[in-house]
Structure 1
Amino acid sequence: MNSTISAFVMGLFLLFSGLPEATAERVNFSFSALSGVQSPLWVAKEVGFFQKHDIDARLVYIPGGSVGVQAMLSGELQMGISSPGAVIRSNLAGSDFVYVGVSSNKLDFVLVTAKNITDLKQMRGKRVGVGRFGGAPDYTIRIILEKLGLIPDKDIFLLQTLGGQPTRLAILQSGAMEGIAISPPLTLRAKQLGFNLLLDFSEVMLHFFTNGFITTRRYVRDKPAVVENAIKALTDATRYIFSNEDGTIKIVGRYMKITDEAFLRSYYREALLGQINKTLYPDIKAVEFVLEQERKFDPAAAKVRPEDFVDTRFLY
């Protein structure tokens, strides 16, 4: 498994890598979805904030935070973006991941359904594409369905889909599934196509951050200055997003392969600014929420605290 991940990761670095800086520290950094809440990473790379802080960032797109976690365990990645479910489960099994910042403290997934389905009751016996099992859409929709009195894989069938969110939207368009879990801006595109935005996950789960910047505690110990500089670059990028609409939508459009400027401006103004976390500080209640879920199945979760999974020393 690790050899497969290694070959996959190294093959993708070429897509997002620039020429290395002579004195910069190389950091292989993964992102897990083509979603705007991951844009601070893209902006830090494209605008030059990583370069400014002596980081030679090599970005690689690995759909699904759980796969990125495996790639980091293999040693191919130094930092990455992942949702808390995969990270906390890995740590409970013995890993030493830690969040050093959070790009969004709001759950941004939406259950999007076929045009003829306008009520959650109609989804009984139907199929929902959730990306990779163990990833954020899969993890969160299982919790949400249970909160709403539905049993995952009995009342509603959750199916693994390979590829990213655009693949899920294409599956919904084909009629192969009746629902998918995706996030903006693809939710806006789905609405344009006539599909129903049936359930906003954030209305059910008030405390859950979708994306955080992870590394290992060992890397923090060995390379504290590198982690600090990476966070400085991501902080600069976050401030840029809030102050530079034109530059931000250009970068978001490039990474998400969206050329409709009017659509991008609408997304930036109506969704993205409300999703990005200005300070990068994590919502500790969100970590506690995930731990509460894990305590139902894993006794080890009772022995840890939310603070064991975060390190905010580099935030300012």
Structure 2
Amino acid sequence: MPSGVEGMNALIAGEVLFLQIAGGTTVSAAVGGADAIIIGTTLATLVQSLVARPEIEKAEQLRGKSVGISRFGTSIDTGARLALRHFGLVPEKDVAIVQIGAMESIVPAMQGNRVQAGILSYPAITRAKKLGHRVLLDIAALGIPYASTGVTTRAKLIREDPDLVRRYMAAQVEAIARMKRDRNFTMNVMGKYLRTSDPELLSETYEIYAQKYLMGVPLPTVEAVRPVLEELAPRNPKAKDQDPRKFFDDSFVRELQASGFIDSLYR
């Protein structure tokens, strides 16, 4: 699906049972009353970069210009606001935030000068660097806890069919272990779905995601969900002072961890 917003709409409509989606999209939907809950966090920080056109050498030069994102309310939107504030720039005042659509559309928008910078994830970061664009900030390097990406379902499904949820999460952690242990297999799969055979692009994407940031134990935490609520609160007052624990169920991952199942995957 082009973005998490479309995915969340599909979950709410009952068209899918599980989503791999940004924590911010889930929390925003749940604050608004939707039946959506995080059951696993696979990336606990924002693995994104602020990337600018070649002529922009420092973030201050973005003042009065535009940064491209996928859609408002996504983790890419969050990354844009965090990155701009990191440099003392006020989002939507000093720098415009422009919705572009799918991630793969942001780099072409930069190429055409529709926007002068963008918030990118891999492999778009690698593609942009190859085209001469400049990384102004590696957001992940800031080390800020954030429920960036994970597994979301509905509380209704947890109540009605907990065994299905349990089996899905077992498959999820098995897949994570396979990704981490089998580089060639993973890169072949990535190449298929990313529609590329570029070894540099695939290698960098694999090292960053599978080896550096992908969580072998995808446990949701208060520490990672709280910043999601704090980021949402200025735009949605309902998020203020909410208990982060309301927005995730860590019981399935904890069960897999306590049983020794996850450890067994790495022996």
Q: Same fold (TM over 0.5)?
A: yes
Pairing 1:140–2:79 present: yes
**Residue of structure 1 aligned with 2:27, choices 88, 111, 114:** 88
CA RMSD of aligned residues (A): 1.9
> In 1, are the aligned partners of 2:69 and 2:100 still within 8 Å (CA)?
yes
> In 1, are the aligned partners of 2:53 and 2:134 still within 8 Å (CA)?
yes
Pairing 1:260–2:172 present: no
Equivalence for 2:166: 228
Equivalence for 1:54: none
Displacement of 1:185 in angstroms is: 1.9
The residue correspondences of 1:189-268 to structure 2 (distance < 5 A) are 189-204=127-142, 206-268=144-206
The residue correspondences of 1:1-316 to structure 2 (distance < 5 A) are 62-162=1-101, 164-204=102-142, 206-296=144-234, 298-302=236-240, 304-315=242-253, 316=256
Measure the CA separation in 2 of the matches of 1:94 and 1:270: 35
Q: Which runs of 5+ in 1 are unaligned?
A: 1-61
Displacement of 1:113 in angstroms is: 0.5
> In 1, are the aligned partners of 2:91 and 2:97 still within 8 Å (CA)?
yes
TM-score (norm 1): 0.75
2:61 aligned counterpart, secondary structure = helix
> In 1, are the aligned partners of 2:180 and 2:211 still within 8 Å (CA)?
yes
Deviations 1:202-257 (A, max 9, x none): 24461113211000100111111111111111111000011101100000111111
TM-score (norm 2): 0.88
Identity of paired residues, percent? Answer: 27
Q: Which runs of 5+ in 2 are unaligned?
A: 257-267
Displacement of 1:271 in angstroms is: 4.9
Q: Which runs of 4+ in 1 moved over 6 A?
A: none
Measure the CA separation in 2 of the matches of 1:299 and 1:97: 19
Decide which moves more: 289-298 or 97-106: 289-298
Deviations 1:97-147 (A, max 9, x none): 111111111211111100111100011111111011211111332244235
Deviations 1:236-284 (A, max 9, x none): 1000011101100000111111112343234323554112111111242
Task: Give 1:305's aligned amino acid.
Answer: D
Shift of the 100–69 alpha-carbon distance from structure 1 to 2, 3 Å rule, reads same
Equivalence for 2:261: none
Aligned residues: 254
> In 1, are the aligned partners of 2:56 and 2:134 still within 8 Å (CA)?
yes
> In 1, are the aligned partners of 2:37 and 2:153 still within 8 Å (CA)?
yes
Measure the CA separation in 1 of the matches of 2:180 and 2:142: 27
